Amino acid sequence: MEKYTGKSIFKGIAIGKILFYQKGEQPVKRVKIEDTAEQIKRYEDARAKAAEQLQGLYEKALKEVGEANAAVFEVHQMMLEDDDYIDSVVNIIETQQVNAEFAVATTGDNFAKMFAEMEDDYFKARAADVKDISERMVNILSGNESGGALGDEPVIVVAEDLAPSETVQMDKEKLLAFVTRLGSANSHTAILARTMNIPALIEVDIKEEWNGKMAVVDGYTGTFYIDPDEETLKKMQEKKEEDIKARELLQELKGKEDITVDGKHIKLYANIGGVKDVTSVLANDAAGIGLFRSEFLYLEADNYPDEEAQFQAYKTVAENMAGKKVIVRTLDIGADKQVDYFNLDHEENPAMGYRAIRICLDRRDIFRTQLRALLRASAYGNIGIMYPMIISVDEVKEIKKIVESIKAELTEKGIEYGEVEQGIMIETPAAVMISDLLAEEVDFFSIGTNDLTQYTLAIDRQNSKLDNIYDSHHPAVLRMIQKTIENGHKAGCWVGICGELGADMTLTETFLKMGIDELSVSPTFVLPIRKLIREMSTK
């Protein structure tokens, strides 16, 4: 028996044979050609087929992992239509008189290298997308399309790395788990694994010779067993059965209250990225939506979404939630979330730059359009609005003036709107330190622990070199959360957490004892956290 350790992406136990997954990559030969027009037509045909495939993947992902996670395939479709990419391929074919495969592979390498060398984290991440698209095109041109086939029996997929498109194409009935050497906990593929409840490990020193061998993935400990002995196999099988029983028991918690043994009620809400994600919220019995990331309406559009399009999206979610709270975060772009048509300038330090509420207060027309759509939708359900990246009381007062002016406009036109709670995200040390003053202005706080940790520790959360010292459990971060809760409550303001830390079950009891009122997490975490809440006491 061999034993390896890696970083766990999703907890769970998988037992089965290994399939060493190879991308089917082949050396792309440079072939001198005479008829450049024919090669350009081959490229255009391949591009059309790739677009068709990506649309199919988007629709498949939409059903299996929700709108927010499927958005990557819309990004890939847009990149297929990029004029610079197309011009490069055509130019190489015409000037060098070479085959389409070589032109696509060269362009892909050039663009991926260019993106990888950029300082902006968003554009760095696009390097993997360009590579994925180029490999798809080359495979179509060369007739080498595997389609993610895994064989007849369920397997543990072992690979150097997996692109999101490869993960989604795989038959979920045949995919027990995956183990890769590369990848990160924040990659698209890792997010898909968590959404699909598939045990996964990264950073494992894989070997091709494992193909066909029996193995066990222990997502709880991050351990990978190759050819496990009888004792280990028996132990892991028992652990897997316990895991299945635990998941079945969680289903019995549907419809139960989120209340501690000593009677403290908690609002247990879910985070979503779009309208389609509401299905998962309802399936997991969340009490409401604590974070609707409205920026996905902008990220998925080719131009500024108009008031009507936004109104329909917010209205649909509000109606589907049937009176349960829906908290929509206003536009939060900038930093690692870039939208081409906003034409944002390159920044040396985008995480601390022109982003979120700073864009909204500067470009008032965009902000007012979103607020009008939200207020109109509030007539159809229980909508709350929260504003990201707040650092001053003046910002909040200015926002409230804008909201009141829009309400006056709607009233004058006879357009109905409902009662809307307004809150802010606490993401900066500045907001924490003046949270007593901010609490006087708003109905609620929602603590964004991802950015709060980043700014408190002065650590770029996208920088993998700093993973060893990025500590969301740091005493300074926890004290910031405690201070925010205390100041909020003094002014009658309820306080929640919508960042990743809200789903950290090692801290659930700590948060409840601090006095937190709400936790908003990914839908799949709702029932496990409900179980924990119902078993603990805050005294």
Q: Residue 71: CA atoms inside 13 Å, Cβ hemisphere, count?
A: 21
Q: At what angle do helices 188-195 and 67-80 cross, to 10 degrees?
A: 150
Active site residue 498: yes
Whether residue 211 is annotated as binding a ligand: the answer is: no
Residue 28's CB is within 10 A of a number of other CB atoms, namely: 19
Whether residue 362 is annotated as binding a ligand: the answer is: no
Whether residue 247 is annotated as binding a ligand: the answer is: no
Whether residue 329 is annotated as binding a ligand: the answer is: yes
CB distance 485 to 457 below 8 Å: no
Nearest C-alpha neighbor of 328 from the set 306, 298, 295: 295
Q: Which of 76, 360, 493, 498 is catalytic?
A: 498
Coarse DSSP helix, strand, coil percentages of the chain, rounded to the nearest 5 percent: 50, 15, 35
| Separation between Cα atoms, residue 33 and residue 101, nearest integer Å | 12
Backbone angles phi, psi at 444, to 5 degrees: -155, 160
Active site residue 346: no
Whether residue 42 is annotated as binding a ligand: the answer is: no
> Is 177 in a helix, a strand, or coil?
strand
Cβ-based neighbours of 64, under 8 Å, separated by 6 or more? 168, 172, 196
Whether residue 319 is annotated as binding a ligand: the answer is: no
> Is 227 in a helix, a strand, or coil?
coil
Supply the DSSP string of 244-293, one letter for each residue: HHHHHHHHTTTT---B-TT--B-EEEEEESSGGGHHHHHHTT-SSEEEEE
| Separation between Cα atoms, residue 164 and residue 409, nearest integer Å | 45
Q: Which of 76, 188, 360, 493 is catalytic?
A: 188
Catalytic residues: 188, 498
Which residues are annotated as part of the binding site for phosphoenolpyruvate?
293, 329, 450-451, 461
Which residues are annotated as part of the binding site for Mg(2+)?
427, 451
Which residues are annotated as part of the binding site?
293, 329, 427, 450-451, 461
